[in-house]
Amino acid sequence: MDPTLCRDCAKLMPAGPVCPHCGSARVVSHPELLDLSIAHIDCDAFYASVEKRDDPSLLDKPLIVGHPGGRGVVTTACYIARKFGPRSAMPMFKALELCPHAVVIPPNMAKYKAVSQQIRALMLKATPQVEPLSLDEAYLDLTPEHRLIDRHPVVILARLARAIERDVGVTVSIGLSYNKSLAKLASDRDKPRGLSVIGRAEAKSILAPLPVGAIHGIGRATASRLEADGITTVAQLQAMSEAALVARMGKFGKALAERVHGIDNRRITPDRPLKSVSVENTFARDQRTLEPMAAELRDLTGKLVARLQRAGVGGSTVVLKLKTGDFKTLSRQIHLPHPTQRFETLWEHGFSLLRREADGRPFRLIGIGVSELAPAVEADPPDLFQ
């Protein structure tokens, strides 16, 4: 009998259609259920779910998140809207032709970021090995040496899904397998609120009928090249030798030969490289004149330098951030010929950006940061002419 879990009470149970503990029929059964520990978690219709959470009157309505108006595109369509055809990246006018009664809400990235961090914090209670892929998805390594809770991964995952629903108010779909590619494939097979399992014994046969684009690393261009040669399914790639794949695809052929057979040795790497460093502050009262804003910018630049030194990096793009009295965020940048962590350089460029914007409008927030980071040793090379 296959190991079986009730997804509602997160308890292992005897095989059967209904949980003897809570009566739920949301059960998952699989011969390898207790042997798999790599997970991919992806939120369901993420931006739309957050908006529905914050306005329950939208719950039973088709909702599209995206910029309304002629040239906008759909960022997310909720599952009700998707029944009528709208999808991510579809032009808004087309989505509204398909679903004219949809409610359209512009995206609120700051909010989605905050929700994403809340979800991340819950994931980190299960394992420090969390590798985010975007705001709404991450890999988790729940092997015994990494997991922080002494339970089977599938139990931890069911509890995590429950905690995210209860504490954050959005639903997720989970893929559980023995490597990243298959965990990601799995999470997409049962949506929304899914828990899908791909075991070692079935991986090849699950991959076989899929289009070649389902393999990690085969993008649209490669897929159409293969299709032009009559290779449309993974089964056809499985039938080719590694040598044949290398001859056709070059270096990637070797990894491809493994992937089509369900092998993927990529590790889960929690530490994403730092992309930017910044500091900001909201004024006690909105400011309209240059002097007080410049004074604040000077203080912030000092803090920025301290942070850059601590992180051991410099940046070659200086970014000034301003928020207007009516909450519009402006971002102005200057690209430098080399990375810097010097106060004078950052202050000089930050100030020149600020001077152009300080035209009497009220501002509520100011910030400064750098991006395009490089190690501190590469920052501020000595100037031969000085």
Note whether 6 binds ligand TTP by CB under 6 A. no
Please tell me whether residue 282 adopts helix, strand or coil conformation: strand
- Contacts of residues 143-151 at CB distance under 8 Å and 24 or more positions apart, as own/partner, are 143/37, 143/38, 144/37, 147/37, 149/125
Note whether 116 binds ligand TTP by CB under 6 A. no
Contact 268, 131 (CB under 8 A): yes
Q: How many CB atoms lie within 10 A of CB 335?
A: 10
Structure tokens at 29: 């059964």
Q: What are phi and psi of 145, to 5 degrees?
A: -75, -15
Note whether 42 binds Mg ion by CB under 5 A. yes
Considering only 30, 46, 115, 177, the residue that binds ligand TTP (CB under 6 A) is: 46
Q: Which does 76 bind (CB under 5 to 8 A by kind): Mg ion, ligand TTP, none?
A: ligand TTP
Outline where DSSP puts E strands in 50-147: 63-66, 74-77, 103-105, 130-134, 137-141
Q: Which does 118 bind (CB under 5 to 8 A by kind): ligand TTP, Mg ion, none?
A: none
Peptide bond into 292 cis (omega under 30): no
Terminal-to-terminal C-alpha distance of the chain: 79
Note whether 363 binds ligand TTP by CB under 6 A. no
Tell me the C-alpha distance between 11 and 24, whole Å. Answer: 11
Binding segment for Mg ion (CB under 5 A), chosen from 30-38, 102-110, 129-137, 211-219, is 129-137
Contact 158, 116 (CB under 8 A): no
Q: How many CB atoms lie within 10 A of CB 248?
A: 16
Q: Which does 47 bind (CB under 5 to 8 A by kind): ligand TTP, Mg ion, none?
A: ligand TTP
Q: Which does 363 bind (CB under 5 to 8 A by kind): ligand TTP, Mg ion, none?
A: none
Q: Which does 88 bind (CB under 5 to 8 A by kind): ligand TTP, Mg ion, none?
A: ligand TTP
Tell me the C-alpha distance between 348 and 357, whole Å. Answer: 15
Contact 212, 232 (CB under 8 A): yes
Q: List for the chain the helix, strand, coil content (%; round to 5).
A: 35, 25, 40
Considering only 32, 44, 51, 141, the residue that binds ligand TTP (CB under 6 A) is: 44
Note whether 319 binds Mg ion by CB under 5 A. no
Binding to ligand TTP in span 191-230, by CB under 6 A: 191-192
Closest approach of ligand TTP to the CB of residue 192, in Å: 6
Tell me the C-alpha distance between 151 and 43, whole Å. Answer: 23
Closest approach of Mg ion to the CB of residue 50, in Å: 11
Q: Which does 347 bind (CB under 5 to 8 A by kind): Mg ion, ligand TTP, none?
A: none
Catalytic residue, chosen from 32, 131, 137, 296, is: 137
Note whether 236 binds ligand TTP by CB under 6 A. no
Considering only 6, 28, 42, 86, the residue that binds ligand TTP (CB under 6 A) is: 42
- Find residue 29's DSSP bridge partners: 4
Structure tokens at 299: 């203080």
> Active site includes 137?
yes
**Residue 226: its H or E element:** helix 220-228
Structure tokens at 178: 């023995």
Note whether 110 binds ligand TTP by CB under 6 A. no
Q: Which does 51 bind (CB under 5 to 8 A by kind): Mg ion, ligand TTP, none?
A: none
Considering only 32, 51, 136, 141, the residue that binds Mg ion (CB under 5 A) is: 136
Instruction: Indicate the pairing of strand 130-134 with strand 103-105.
Output: unpaired
Closest approach of ligand TTP to the CB of residue 170, in Å: 9
Residue closer to Mg ion (CB basis): 45 or 365? 45
Residue closer to ligand TTP (CB basis): 131 or 137? 137
Note whether 284 binds ligand TTP by CB under 6 A. no
Outline where DSSP puts E strands in 166-307: 172-177, 195-197, 276-287
Closest approach of ligand TTP to the CB of residue 64, in Å: 11
Note whether 88 binds ligand TTP by CB under 6 A. yes
Considering only 5, 19, 28, 43, the residue that binds Mg ion (CB under 5 A) is: 43
Catalytically active residues, by annotation: 137
- Which positions touch ligand TTP (CB under 6 A)? 42-47, 75-76, 88-89, 136-137, 191-192
- Which positions touch Mg ion (CB under 5 A)? 42-43, 46, 136
